[in-house]
Chains A and B, each alone.
Chain A
Amino acid sequence: MSRNTRNSSDQQLPGSVRLHALAFMLGFGCLLLIGWVAFPALLYKNTPQPLSFNHRLHTKIADDGCNSCHFFRKDGRFSGIPGIETCRACHTKVETGGDSETQLIRDYIAKTVEIPWQVYARQPDSVFFSHAAHVRSAELGCETCHGDIGQSAVSRHYEENVMTGYSRDMEESMKMDDCANCHEETKQDGASAQTDRDGCFICHK
């Protein structure tokens, strides 16, 4: 067989092989779509927050930045989600006329009802997290764990994993491995007799 004929036979593959290749590529593409688009869409339930909160605007106006609404109590506990009384301290009447502010005053402040926020960073029940240890003693910034939420202008949707019931944010950047990695690097006490790493009760309850 001459060289030319071999080349021409390579270029003209039999119809069945081309069909198979096409079917494979289509199937591959379909599975990718299922894996990247359909499965996450099914896995995570999207719900809007009750109000859209503008962090960027509030941190500019509030006297003490993040600490104005997210503060430590005297006993060392952290008041993460501010209660309605904290909002009431500034919002007595509608000033800007924005939808969110009107809704806040009409539905929550006037009726003294707590806003049912869905917390992106809500941890499982077995987790103990000390804000005092991380923010005060270790001097970590809020953004270290919470990202740039302080710069956001709108509240994005809360995504809940329907299988675990946990927030997607927590799964992506606040897993036990994320805590353990940092504790491995910075080793606070290495108190565990079994692993020589930090003790379990540092983060668990």
Chain B
Amino acid sequence: MISGTKAMKTKTKQTYHFGMLIDLDRCNGCGSCMVACMSENNISFRPDETDKQTSITWMRMYRISNRKPFPDTERCFLPMPCMHCEGKESGHSPCVSVCPVTATDYDRNTGIVSQIPSRCFGCRYCMVACPYHARSFNWWDPVWPKGMEQMLNPDVSVRMRGVVEKCSFCYHRYQSARDKAHLQGRPRIEESDYQTSCTEACPTGAITFGDLNNPQHRITQMVNPDRNLSGKPRNPQVFRLLEKLGTNPSVYYHSSKQWVREVSDNHIDDKGRS
């Protein structure tokens, strides 16, 4: 019935590349982003959340140190969502290239690595492939304390036992933004239409989110990505994690401290020496 209808109007090609910049100078490790993410995305939790082998989070907070004795000790907090790697060629992300059932996919229109839990069958190959440990496995069906299921976000589907999940850059907010744009007849969405939950929750404003292809967006002005070098930042204080692996992540970090920037690539210099 549906296939025989008149063709939909194809619109002009519009390509976004959504990315995130986390300013580590501003991040104080409060964990608001993690809490906001969990409630926004209906992430299930265990009775004992201290067991990090079985707990699930889409935004993991690491604490790193320069490993110097007092009084030169310095610490830094490193929030890590899914990096939404583009890979060297468009879409050759570590996880996407190994998924046997197309449950995870690179979306060339948004630069977002999608994860469709209802399609996943839980082989966890993607978790092995991900160099950032951004993915989690559901070992149990989610159980909500009585009454709490009323507070679940209807825009995000709850995952079942046996599937992998990860950060989606709050893709449902992009869908809502597009809905609004369709209704208003706008071809593109604005920067303020689509912001992730963690970006809004961060009390110090450490997280900037936007379209890396749009020179008007704050993130593009701060990162100044070089598209000829797979989006490598031109800003010398901006870096990406494990840059030398060539995963080409969409998440950037900013730090004014030299040692923090070195940790990001395991102290490996340009010639591959540590």
Interface size on A, residues (CB 8 A): 42
A181 CA / B8 CA spacing, docked (Å): 12
For window 23-62 of B, CB contacts with A under 8 Å fall at: none
Which one of A16-24, A29-37, A128-136, A156-164 contacts B? A128-136
For window 119-140 of A, CB contacts with B under 8 Å fall at: 124-126, 128, 130, 132-134, 136-140
Candidates B2, B10, B108, B183; contact of A76 at CB < 8 Å:
B183
Q: Smallest CB-CB separation from B90: which chain A residue? A: A193
Q: Smallest CB-CB separation from B174: which chain A residue? A: A201
The answer to whether B179 touches A182 (Cβ under 8 A) is: no
Q: A144-B5, A193-B96 are contacts. A205–B156 as well, Cβ < 8 Å? A: yes
| Interface class of chain B by DSSP | loop
The answer to whether A205 touches B171 (Cβ under 8 A) is: yes
| Cβ of B68 under 8 Å from chain A | no
| Cβ of A185 under 8 Å from chain B | yes
For window 169-198 of B, CB contacts with A under 8 Å fall at: 171-172, 174-176, 178-185
The answer to whether B183 touches A204 (Cβ under 8 A) is: no
The answer to whether B102 touches A200 (Cβ under 8 A) is: yes
The answer to whether B7 touches A186 (Cβ under 8 A) is: yes
Candidates B7, B93, B114; contact of A185 at CB < 8 Å:
B7
Q: Smallest CB-CB separation from B111: which chain A residue? A: A191
Given contacts A185-B7, A193-B96, A200-B114, 4 further A-B contacts (CB under 8 A): A75-B176, A126-B157, A137-B182, A139-B9
Using a CB–CB cutoff of 8 Å, the interface residues on chain A facing chain B are: 72, 74-77, 124-126, 128, 130, 132-134, 136-140, 144-145, 147, 173, 178-179, 181-182, 185-195, 199-201, 204-205
Using a CB–CB cutoff of 8 Å, the interface residues on chain B facing chain A are: 1-3, 5-11, 13, 90-93, 96, 99, 102, 105-110, 112, 114, 116-119, 155-158, 168, 171-172, 174-176, 178-185
